Structure 1
Amino acid sequence: MIEILSPTELLRARDTGALVADILDALRERATVGTNLLEIDEWAREMIVEAGAQSCYVDYAPSFGRGPFGHYICTSVNDAVLHGLPHDYTLADGDLLSLDLAVSLAGVVADSAVSLVVGESRPEQSLALIDATQRALSAGIAAVRPGAAVGDVAHAIGTVLREAGYRVNTEFGGHGVGSTMHQDPHIANDGRPGRGYRLRPGLLIAVEPWVMADTDELVTDADGWTLRSATGCRTAHSEHTVAVTDDGAEILTLPRRLRR
Structure 2
Amino acid sequence: MTITTTDSTPTATPDPQKRSRRTTRASVRGLRTIGMYTLSVLVGVAIWQLIAMKYGSSLVASPRETVSAAGELASDGTLGNSITASSRRILIGWGLGVVVGAPVGLLVGQIKIVRQLLEPYIEFFRFIPPVAFVTLAVVWLGIGESSKVVLIFYTAVFIVTLNTSAGVMAVHESKLRAAASLGASRRQILQRIVLPSTVPYIVTGARLAMGNSFLTIVSAEIVASQVGLGSLIWTSRNYGRIDWVFVGIITLGILGFVYDRVLRVTAIRVLHRYGAKV
Which category describes the TM-score, using the shorter chain as reference length?
under 0.3
- Greater RCO, CA 8 A, separation 6+: 1
> What TM-score do you get using the length of structure 1 for normalisation?
0.27
Higher helix share: 2
Higher strand share: 1
Structure (1 or 2) with the larger CA radius of gyration: 2
> What TM-score do you get using the length of structure 2 for normalisation?
0.25
